[in-house]
Amino acid sequence: DKITDKIKALPKDATYFSLEFFPPKTQAGLQNLHARLDRMSKGLRPLFVTVTWGAGGSTATKSLELASLCQSHGLTTVLHLTCTNMSKSILDDALENAKLMGIRNILALRGDEPRQHEYLDATEQVRDGNTENDFVYAIDLVKYIRKQYGEYFAIGVAAYPEGYAESAYPVAQDVARDLPYLREKTAAGADFIMTQFFYDVEAYISFEKFLRNDDSGVFKDIPIIPGLMPVQSYQIFKRTTKLCSVKVPASISSKIETVKGDDEMVKEQGIQVLTEIIEKIKGSTDTSGGLPRGFHFYTLNLEKAVAFIVERCSLIPEIPTSNEVAVEEDDEGPGL
Ligand code: FAD
């Protein structure tokens, strides 16, 4: 299924959530994830899951393997795909395999910045006839997928509520500077937007407002799905926020710092922090674009914190009662 169709089919005031997984390095890891996927798909019932892609195609086989496993669990799957530093044949294989597996959703990303070029020269050099590498930015991938596959895939693109941070070329993060490019890649054929994770919920809500009010109108009614990373441990929290240049508001930082020696308390504080963020976003109905509210969790393949959060925030959809199932089956039945 396309996730955009699933979102459209929900009541406007509904909420939903999705889970991100990465391909484990070992067979044992994959086995563990297998069991976890089974529990999470049955117990938590995410609207969809996403599978990450190692930059440069480093996890191509494993990502496709995991995507196939997700599909076999009956989970609607979004395959992440990057386009730089990777041969076009890997990209073509991934898209073709995704289609064969029945996957209908791709999150189109750039990945690491193109190699062998000074960053600022990259666009001109590569676009000026370097046919070896047609992919410089995510927009190039969006256009390519649309050209090759028409409307078969629902395409998602990434956005950064605090502004994009380029590690190799550090400049101040600035959502206004990113805007023309985000507008351009959305207009090129994106069906949904997924964001970098954040802890500054006010920054997220103003970002959403900023996009919804953009004069171009391209963000008016596109699903914008906020990214959330549960706090798994003090070390992971510190490392991921630093690596991704994600701000931690003082009020949140102090909650986590006070308990940093106690792993269980860190997790518990983290669950509270995430719960508050989610409730705040649920409440900001004026920036939702009139769409159901979705939340995307970067799970790091871990189950417990996410399970607590979706439970506490009442994000787990009810299982249809046997009556509703019967009606649905009747609707789709041969009409006897
Ligand atoms: P782009 O949209 O290409 O933007 C990159 C930068 O270039 C931005 O600053 C943008 O403003 C600027 N820019 C865009 N177009 C132009 C232009 N024409 N001229 C000048 N500047 C321009 N990485 C992985 O390797 N694997 C994953 O699975 C993965 N999953 C992710 C999931 C999400 C939800 C997010 C938010 C990120 C993910 N990433 C992943 C990271 C991502 O690949 C990096 O952040 C990457 O550096 C940027 O990707 P992008 O698609 O946002 O790039």
Query: pLDDT tens per residue, the chain (336 residues)?
Result: 999 999 999 999 999 999 999 999 998 999 999 999 999 999 999 999 999 999 999 999 999 999 999 999 999 999 999 999 889 999 999 999 999 999 999 999 999 876 554 444 444 444 444 444 689 999 999 999 999 999 999 999 999 999 998 766 667 899 999 999 999 999 999 999 999 999 999 999 999 999 999 999 999 999 999 999 999 999 999 999 999 999 999 999 999 999 999 999 999 999 999 999 999 999 998 999 999 999 999 999 999 999 999 999 999 998 866 555 444 444 433 333
CB distance 185 to ligand 1 below 6 Å: yes
With a threshold of 0.80, does the pTM exceed it? yes
> Using CA positions, which residue lies closest to atom 45 of ligand 1?
111
To test the pocket of ligand 1, the residue of 137, 197, 198, 228 to mutate (highest count of ligand atoms within 8 Å of its CB) is 137
Cβ atoms of 197 and 246 within 8 Å: the answer is yes
What is the atom index within ligand 1 of the atom nearest the CA of 81?
28
Query: Could you tell me the distance, in angstroms and rounded to a whole number, from the CA of residue 109 to the centre of ligand 1?
Result: 5
**pLDDT for the residue numbered 168:** 65
What is the atom index within ligand 1 of the atom nearest the CA of 138?
3
> Using CA positions, which residue lies closest to atom 52 of ligand 1?
158
Three-state helix/strand/coil letters over the chain? CCHHHHHHHCCCCCEEEEEEECCCCCHHHHHHHHHHHHHHHHHCCCCEEEECCCHHHCCHHHHHHHHHHHHHCCCCEEEEEECCCCCHHHHHHHHHHHHHCCCCEEEEECCCCCCCCCHHHHHHHHHCCCCCCCCCCHHHHHHHHHHHHCCCCEEEEEECCCCCCCCCCCCCCCHHHHHHHHHHHHHCCCCEEEEEECCCHHHHHHHHHHHHCCCCCCCCCCCEEEEECCCCCHHHHHHHHHHCCCCCCHHHHHHHHHCCCCHHHHHHHHHHHHHHHHHHHHHCHHHCCCCCEEEEEECCCCCHHHHHHHHHCCCCCCCCCHHHHHHHHHHHCCCC
- CA geometry: angle 64, 140, 209, nearest 5 deg: 95
Query: Could you tell me the distance, in angstroms and rounded to a whole number, from the CA of residue 291 to the centre of ligand 1?
Result: 25
CB distance 75 to ligand 1 below 6 Å: no
Query: Could you tell me the distance, in angstroms and rounded to a whole number, from the CA of residue 222 to the centre of ligand 1?
Result: 19
CB distance 244 to ligand 1 below 6 Å: no
What is the atom index within ligand 1 of the atom nearest the CA of 197?
36
CB distance 109 to ligand 1 below 6 Å: yes
CB distance 167 to ligand 1 below 6 Å: no
CB distance 179 to ligand 1 below 6 Å: no
Query: Could you tell me the distance, in angstroms and rounded to a whole number, from the CA of residue 72 to the centre of ligand 1?
Result: 29
What is the atom index within ligand 1 of the atom nearest the CA of 180?
11
To test the pocket of ligand 1, the residue of 52, 109, 178, 225 to mutate (highest count of ligand atoms within 8 Å of its CB) is 109
**pLDDT for the residue numbered 158:** 98
**pLDDT for the residue numbered 112:** 82
CB distance 181 to ligand 1 below 6 Å: yes
Active site positions, annotated: 20
Q: Which residue has the tokens 């240049």?
A: 245
What is the atom index within ligand 1 of the atom nearest the CA of 113?
47
> Using CA positions, which residue lies closest to atom 9 of ligand 1?
164
**pLDDT for the residue numbered 324:** 52
**pLDDT for the residue numbered 125:** 42
